[in-house]
Amino acid sequence: MRTKNFVSALVTVSALTLANQAISAEAVKISTEIEVGAEYHFQLLHTDDGLKADGAETEKTDFVTKAAKLSIRGKLTDQISWNLLYQVNTNLLERFWLTNKVSDTIELNIGKQKIRTFGWNRKLQVAWNSPIRSSIQTFNPLTDAVAVELNYKLYGNWSLALVKDYFDTSATCNSSATSVCKSWNEYDVQKQPAVVFEYIGSFGDIQPLVQYASYDRNHSFTASAGVRVKNETLDAFAEYIVDERNDKGIDTAGKAEDRKSTRDGIVVYGEFFTGDWTPYAMFSTTNLDQYKAPGAAEIKTNKDGAVDDNEQIIAAGVFYEGYTKVYRPYVALASTSGKYVDPKNTTGEEDRSKFDIMMGLTGKF
C-alpha cells in the first residue's frame, strides 16, 4: 500500500512539474511576443493670433508637446492579440483592446479603441504626425471609447460597432427657456449603445470611404464620405463630414424637444513623396449652424476668439524623411480665417484670421 501511495504521489508530483514547465514555457512564449513602441511629436510654434478683440491680439512662441505615447502590443494565441496605447504626457490610458482574428476575413475587437468616425482626417492626421488638423475634429462626439467591433474583409473592410454612447451634462443649444440643455443620455435613465458603420474600399490605388454613426439614443448622427488615393508618389484624400446633434431641451410649455445644431466641413489633404522630402498641403472648412428658438436671433455663445462660422484653414509644409519614420523633422505654415465671435457684441461676429509658423519633430517606432 505504501509503495502504491508513493508511486501515486510521484506521478502527481511529476505531472505538476510538467504542467508548471509547460505554463512557464507558454509564459516565456507570450513575453517574447510583446512589442513595445512609442509615438511622439514636439513642436516649436509661433502664432500671430488675430482672432481676439482689438487690442487683445497676441503674438507668441511656444514649445508644444503634441504627443508622447507608449505603445505595447502582444499575442495571447495565434488568433488573439492585445494592444495598449498610453499617453505619457497626460497620464491617460488612451486605448486598450483585444483582437480575435476569427478567420482570414473576420476580425473582432473588444475594448477601448479608436472609433471609426469623422473620416480619413480622423484616421490619417493624428496628433503624433500632423502639424495641424482641421477644427471640424473638435466636434467629434465619438473618439476613443469602449466598443465591440466586427470587421469583415470583402473588396476592402466593412465594420460595424456598438459603442459606449455620447453624454453631455450641459450642452450648448441656445435655449429659449431658462433650463439647461443636455444630451438625451444624460436626461434619461434608459441607455443604449451608439452604432457605428464604416466601409473602406480597396480598388488598387483608390480607397472610397463611407461612415455613419447614430448616437445619443438615436437622436443624433454623424456621417462622412470621401476617397483616398495612395501609391508610390502620392497619399491624398478628400472628404465631407457632417454632424447633426439634437440635444434635449425643454420648451416654454415644459415639453421635451430636440434642439438641433449642425456642424459640417470639407477636408482635402495630400502628401507627395519625392525621396528624402515629403511636401504636404491641406485645405479645410468648418461651418456651424447652431440651434435658435423659432423667430429668434442666433445667440453667440462661443467665447472670445472661438469660431462662429465658416472657418477655413490653408496649410503647407515639408517633412524630411532621411531618418526614416523614427525621426521626421518638418517645417510648416498655416493660415486660419473665418467668422469669429465679436467680443464687443455678443450677438455679432467678425471676419478674423491668424497665422502659424511651425517647426517640429515627429516619429513612431
Domain CATH for 46? 2.40.160.10
Contact of 277 with 318, CB cutoff 8 Å: yes
Greatest CA separation found in the chain?
Answer: 100
**Given this model, what pLDDT does residue 126 score?**
57
pLDDT in tens, 54-81: 656 678 888 988 888 999 999 988 899 9
pLDDT in tens, 181-205: 677 777 666 678 999 999 999 999 9
Which regions of the chain are under pLDDT 50? 1-19, 21-31, 175-178, 301-304
Look up the domain containing 288 and give its range.
33-364
Amino acid at 344: K
18 within domain boundaries:
no
User: How many Å apart are CA 120 and CA 136, to the nearest integer?
Assistant: 12
174 within domain boundaries:
yes
7 within domain boundaries:
no
Contact of 322 with 360, CB cutoff 8 Å: no
183 within domain boundaries:
yes
C-alpha cell at 40: 511622439
- Of 149, 158, 229, 153, the closest CA to residue 199 belongs to 158
Please name every residue paired with 260 in a beta bridge, in sequence order, or none if there are none.
246
**Given this model, what pLDDT does residue 89 score?**
82
Q: Residue-wise over 292-329: b if at least 16 C-beta within 10 A, else e?
A: bbeeeebbbebeebebbbebbbebebbbebeeeeeebb
The C-alpha R_g of the chain, in whole angstroms, comes to 26
9 within domain boundaries:
no
Q: Percent of the chain beyond pLDDT 90?
A: 42
What is the domain count for the chain?
Answer: 1
C-alpha cell at 170: 450641459
16 within domain boundaries:
no
277 within domain boundaries:
yes
321 within domain boundaries:
yes
C-alpha cell at 232: 508610390
